[in-house]
Amino acid sequence: MKNQPATSVAVYRSEHYTFRSLWSAAERLRESGEVDEANGLWPLLAATLLAFTAFEGFVNEAIESVAPEEWADERKLFATGKHTGTMGKAVFLADRAGIALRRESRPFSTVAELCSWRNELVHPRTTRIKGEALVVALSAKPRHAKPTVFKKLERPGFVERCFTDIAALADQLLDGLRAKDSVPVSHLGRKALWGPVGSGHVSLKE
């Protein structure tokens, strides 16, 4: 390529799998939150949201790869019916691959729970309380509005389960798609969320 005439034209292609960068960032935030006892809640919150966002990115990439015509009309196809939203897209991929998802069981149930929780967080509402109490009682025990949306993070094993099941569901979908037709998803490798973060190619225009 270096010795080509100055008038030669190169054709290039480059792509970055953003969802894999997000997954890596989520893992780093999770590690940070797990060692920070005083302030670990917030890195874990960010980590869990990013982990789900990475799953959403993988699902989008997979659909674009195996069903480009359907993807071109994404907003219409995934707006209603059983394929609504990110979890509906996961069902679409499973249908495409010919695999059965047990929605009431892990890993699907965990990712679906996380999806609902994520929706609560990205569309937050102010928490309000009001009432009456004796002054002495209120002085002894002040009442404060506390959002319940963060309580999931306090559940033992919740964050670990989210990461484990997101990866498991993504791999299950990728394995099914690969078994059906490996060519459209060959660029994703063997693991959905781990691997090269991009690819590219350069050639001379004929």
Residue range 55-78, pLDDT digits in tens: 999 999 999 999 999 899 888 888
Q: Whole-prediction pTM value?
A: 0.88
In this predicted model, what pLDDT tens digit does every residue of 3-20 receive, in sequence order? Answer: 777 777 888 889 999 999
* DSSP H helical ranges for the chain: 18-35, 41-66, 68-72, 74-77, 85-97, 108-122, 135-140, 158-180
Distances in Å between the alpha carbon of 126 and those of 42, 56, 145, 147, 195?
A: 18, 27, 9, 8, 40
In this predicted model, what pLDDT tens digit does every residue of 99-128 receive, in sequence order? Answer: 999 999 999 999 999 999 999 998 888 999
How does the average pLDDT of the chain come out, rounded?
A: 91
| Closest among 140, 194, 159, 167 to 40, alpha carbons compared | 159
In this predicted model, what pLDDT tens digit does every residue of 136-176 receive, in sequence order? Answer: 999 999 999 988 888 888 888 999 999 999 999 999 999 99
CA 127 to chain CA mean position, Å: 27
Q: pLDDT band for 1, please (50, 70, 90 cuts).
A: low
Judge whether residue 95 has pLDDT over 70: yes
Environment class of residue 71 by beta-carbon count within 10 Å: exposed (0-12), middle (13-18) or buried (19+)?
middle
Distances in Å between the alpha carbon of 195 and those of 20, 66, 143, 167?
A: 8, 19, 49, 13
